[in-house]
Amino acid sequence: MKKWSFLKTTEIRPEGWLKRQLEIQADGLSGHLDQVWPDVRDSAWIGGDREGWERMPYWLDGFLPLAYLTENKDMQQRAQKYIDAILDRQKPDGWICPCEDGERGKYDLWAVLLICKVLYVYHNCTGDERAVDAAYRAMKNLYKLLSTGEVHLFDWGKFRWFEGFIALRWLYELRPEAWMKKLGRLLKKQGANYMDFLPLWKEPVNRWRFDTHIVNIGMMLKAEAVSADLLGQRYKDEAEKLHRQLYRYNGTVCGFYTGDECLSGLSAIQGTELCAVVEQAYSYEEMLSVTGDAKWADRLERVLFNGLPATCSPDMWTHQYDQMANQIACVKFPGKPLFSTNGADAHCFGLEPNYGCCTANFNQGWPKFAGSVFMKSEKGLVSVVPAPARVETEINGGRVTAVCGTLYPFRHSVIYTVMNEGDAPIEFTFRIPDWSVKTYVNQNEVSEHGFRTVEIPAGSTVKLEVKFTAEVKLEERPHKLCAVTYGPLVFSLPIKARWEKREYEQNGVPRTYPYCDYDIYPESEWNFAFDGKDFEVIQNDLTDTPFDEEKPSLQIKANFRRIHWGLERGYLDVCAAVPKSRTPYGETETVLMQPYGCTTLRMTEMPLLKK
């Protein structure tokens, strides 16, 4: 069961703001991590003496599509050196990870699943058949070792067993062999069943567990979608039940779940790990490919357009481990951290706050999204999320070019131009998001939401002008708080931020500008409540930084009054989870809110004053 397929990386070209966002990432930490971070630069995967498990594969998983989507030859060459080194070191029996033969039984097999996924990504970028060969041998070796009991899934591998199906499905499409299905069954049998964990997600347990780990959960959402076909099972959309449970007890207004680093409940001052944001987005992209269900696209854009830019500095040289919806400062805790299972610097911006997994893994967010905005259907092309991009591909033996011209999500109009040079008609499918109040296609009103298909006759060019209309909404949040949304974007009350550099060396790794650490202090008031539901949308020009904090392309004028909000008990730089008083004082103040992704310090969930 696979409704749509991903395009080859070379068939899609980001344009407009999306291209610029990828360029910023390439100019930032992602594009230079192999030059400044020993865990990638000197990784055991390439013969060095540093980490030989997940960090280098995590980085390649995003660096590869970033290099090819931006057509950056230097980055492509650097990526190639890593791939060549990995392939050269693969053992004759197929084992591919950097450990001694006698250590395989103690080596967490998550890295095997991850590197095979990287080889799939590399093949999609280059078509290099060595990647198919290497992944085939690695997976067949894994099947042999699991079958004989020489190795087994434990820890991360046990809770991420489904990640192996990314490469396994790819290999089965190219070289279908019976052992591949047997390996799939072994992975599922030894892997964790997340349906058993539903009761654990109702309340934070305040201790570290694999079954409440937020990144495992972000990955897990796609488990059934990526595995059902190869396992010969009927798809039942278990992800919907899992998502509803997670969102009900741990959901944020941005669509992801709290988890710092394990599930943290319904609080606007609990964090969400950056790895979880990009993994949840990737899960939605895979689920869209398998199911074609528009709800995953609606959820994808809410997660990605808000959560990813908010937790990286505008130049993408630094990032947070944890982001918070109500975040009045990003200052290292001097005592006990606020977070249930993370360290004192988890919400600070820097090279490697709290732990280095996000330093390597956040790289996949924008490139994977850019490679997913268009997909291929059996009879044509699908625009999954309207984003500026151009596709040139072949369908039914004929050349097809599609261009999506848009400033979405900052504006709500899209122009599609589809040119079919083939001898047969094709289908072009686009999506009407669930938030659109009224939608017009070539000036004709369309009432339904979801995916809509039109025919593109042979030898013709068809232009579609699509306009969505949005309303500013005040969404109810837990603890009688509210948050503002407009289209796919969440809006926050921005707090003026003062960034103070911290340059130092730790574990032999220097933190120097531009990848130093920062403490960020508030320099404007934040203790507000909504004073009514009157909102005015203001459109500004887009700058060279798509999610510009100083000059956001969208703002919402809203009325506020101050309240005695107070601080969380025991903390000087964290607002109280729930306001200590909702009684207003002072006059009504008009404040310009801006997209959540265009803020560093912010208040997002606030009370609505009673009239």
- Annotate 474-527 with three-state secondary structure: EEEEHHHEEEEEECCEEEEEEECEEEEEECEEECCEEECCCCCEEEEEECCCCC
Strand partners, 289: none
In this predicted structure, what is the pLDDT of residue 507? 83
Q: Token digits for 67?
A: 């290099």
CATH number (3.40.50, 3.30.1490, 2.60.420, 2.60.40) of 375-408+413-468 reads 2.60.420
- 558-583 in b/e form (b: 16+ CB < 10 A) is bbbbbbebeebeebebbbbbbbeebe
Predicted confidence (pLDDT) at residue 373 exceeds the cutoff of 90: yes
Please list, in sequence order, all residues whose beta carbon lies within 8 angstroms of the beta carbon of residue 46, skipping any fewer than 6 positions away. Answer: 56, 81, 82, 85, 86, 89
Q: pLDDT per residue over 383-425, tens digit each? A: 999 999 999 999 999 999 999 999 999 999 999 999 999 999 9
- Work out the average pLDDT over 534-563: 97
Kindly tell me the burial class for residue 274, based on how many C-beta atoms sit within 10 Å of its own C-beta (0-12, 13-18, 19 or more): buried
Q: Who has greater pLDDT, 168 or 204?
A: 168
Predicted confidence (pLDDT) at residue 2 exceeds the cutoff of 80: no
* Phi, psi of 406, rounded to the nearest 5 degrees: -165, 160
368 CA to centre of own chain: 8
Whole-structure pTM value: 0.97
In this predicted structure, what is the pLDDT of residue 501? 96
- Work out the average pLDDT over 253-282: 97
Percent residues over pLDDT 70 in the chain: 100
In this predicted structure, what is the pLDDT of residue 205? 85
Q: pLDDT per residue over 60-117, tens digit each? A: 999 999 999 999 999 999 999 999 999 999 999 999 999 999 999 999 999 999 999 9
In this predicted structure, what is the pLDDT of residue 600? 98
Which residue is associated with the tokens 């979608």?
225
Predicted confidence (pLDDT) at residue 54 exceeds the cutoff of 80: yes
- Work out the average pLDDT over 24-29: 98
In this predicted structure, what is the pLDDT of residue 101? 93
DSSP 297-320: HHHHHHHHHHHHHHTB-TTSS-B-
Q: pLDDT per residue over 186-235, tens digit each? A: 999 999 999 999 999 999 988 999 999 999 999 999 999 999 999 999 99
Predicted confidence (pLDDT) at residue 1 exceeds the cutoff of 70: no
Peptide bond into 409 cis (omega under 30): yes
The type of residue at 539 is Q
